[in-house]
Amino acid sequence: MTTKLKLARLNDGPEIFYTIQGEGKNLGFPSIFVRLSLCNLYCVWCDTDYTWNWQHTPYPHLRDTEPGYQKYDKAQHIVMMEVEALMEAVGQHPCKHVVITGGEPLVQHKALLPFAQRLKSEGYFIEYETNGTIIPNEALDIYSDQYNVSIKLSNAGVLTEERIRPEAISFFAQSSKSYFKFVVDSPQDLSEVLDLVQNYDIPSDKVYLMPQGTSQALLRQKQQWLVALCKEQGFRYTDRLHIHIYGDKRGV
Ligand code: SF4
């Protein structure tokens, strides 16, 4: 049986695009983004809610009050792709650095293996954007170069037992491939970050704090106090460079 991955749909095709990494350790690196559909969480401020906020699901979202906003028709927002088609799409770009993102890409960790194997056999660097709740299977881990682990804080509006999965956090904390990126909405969020860093023994130089926001104005406003917190704690600050360059747009 041929394994297919579920990708987010953008216009008539899958959401695969060549841009620069806008966040975290590899900020500024030219990268091919492969956006998978599906997520196991439901963050209220999620900016890729078209990967999970399906019609007839109960999850609230900050955009609920926006005129015209409505939940998504699942069948319309997923593209199924086999490895050959994925390699062809990725191979169109002059770059050997792939960011596999979502949604939560590790929801499909078993189906990801053949794609990851092919990418590695052709010399690609593979980084994953993950919410840190799912342990990738051992085989997939072998073909991974980097995990950008964004454990969700209470500002995401997700039940604690769903966003904090101790076994998964321990796995990532012990992996030399992991970097931790926390989405910070207000200075009060810091105590949760400090608890996680302490409880899971995460080295401070692997911790990035990133402002929550999908506009330049919001990011700049939060930058002021967030940079100060990073300096105090020895954490790294990461911006959301793509928002400054392109705005809150898809496929760029
Ligand atoms: S984990 Fe990521 S993709 Fe999933 S709902 Fe939260 S922000 Fe969105």
| Closest C-alpha to ligand 1, atom 6 | 43
pLDDT exceeds 80 at position 2: no
Tokens, residue 234 = 């020895």
Distance 35 CA to ligand 1 centre (A): 12
- Which atom of ligand 1 is nearest to 133's Cα? 1
DSSP run (H or E) holding 166: helix 166-174
pLDDT exceeds 70 at position 1: no
pLDDT-based confidence at residue 3 (cuts at 50, 70, 90): confident
Dump the DSSP string for 133-161: -SPPPHHHHHT--EEEE----GGG---HH
Q: Collapsing DSSP states into helix, strand and coil, what is residue 35? A: strand
140 Cβ neighbours under 8 A, 6+ residues apart: 109, 110, 112, 113, 116
State how far Cα 97 lies from the chain centre: 16
pLDDT-based confidence at residue 207 (cuts at 50, 70, 90): very high
pLDDT exceeds 70 at position 243: yes
Distance 150 CA to ligand 1 centre (A): 9
CB-hemisphere CA count at 13 Å for 100? 29
Pocket lining: 46 vs ligand 1, CB cutoff 6 Å: yes
Q: Collapsing DSSP states into helix, strand and coil, what is residue 179? A: strand
pLDDT exceeds 70 at position 226: yes
Strand partners, 81: 5
Tokens, residue 191 = 């105590």
- Report pLDDT for 252: 87
| Closest C-alpha to ligand 1, atom 7 | 46
Is 121 in contact with 142 (CB distance < 8 Å)? no
| Closest C-alpha to ligand 1, atom 8 | 46
Pocket lining: 8 vs ligand 1, CB cutoff 6 Å: no
Pocket lining: 132 vs ligand 1, CB cutoff 6 Å: no
Domains in the chain with CATH codes:
4-246 (3.20.20.70)
Give percent of the chain above pLDDT 70. Answer: 99
Distance 189 CA to ligand 1 centre (A): 17
Gyration radius of the chain's alpha carbons: 17
Distance 170 CA to ligand 1 centre (A): 20
Distance 34 CA to ligand 1 centre (A): 15
pLDDT digits 0-9 by tens, 98-139:
999 999 999 999 999 999 999 999 999 999 999 999 999 999
Pocket lining: 103 vs ligand 1, CB cutoff 6 Å: yes
For tokens 């939060």, name the residue: 222
Distance 210 CA to ligand 1 centre (A): 15
pLDDT exceeds 80 at position 247: yes
Helical ranges in the chain per DSSP H: 83-91, 109-121, 138-142, 160-163, 166-174, 190-199, 216-233, 241-246
Pocket lining: 39 vs ligand 1, CB cutoff 6 Å: yes
Pocket lining: 102 vs ligand 1, CB cutoff 6 Å: yes
> Which of 90, 250, 116, 101 lies closest to 181 in space, CA to CA?
101
Q: Cα angle vertex 51, ends 16, 113, to 5°?
A: 60
Pairwise CA distance, residues 88 & 37, whole Å: 19
Mean pLDDT score across all residues of the chain: 96
Give 55's DSSP letter: T
Pairwise CA distance, residues 59 & 43, whole Å: 9
Count CB-CB contacts under 10 A for residue 35: 24
pLDDT digits 0-9 by tens, 50-108:
999 999 999 999 999 999 999 999 999 999 999 999 999 999 999 999 999 999 999 99
pLDDT-based confidence at residue 235 (cuts at 50, 70, 90): very high
Give 188's DSSP letter: G
- Report pLDDT for 170: 98
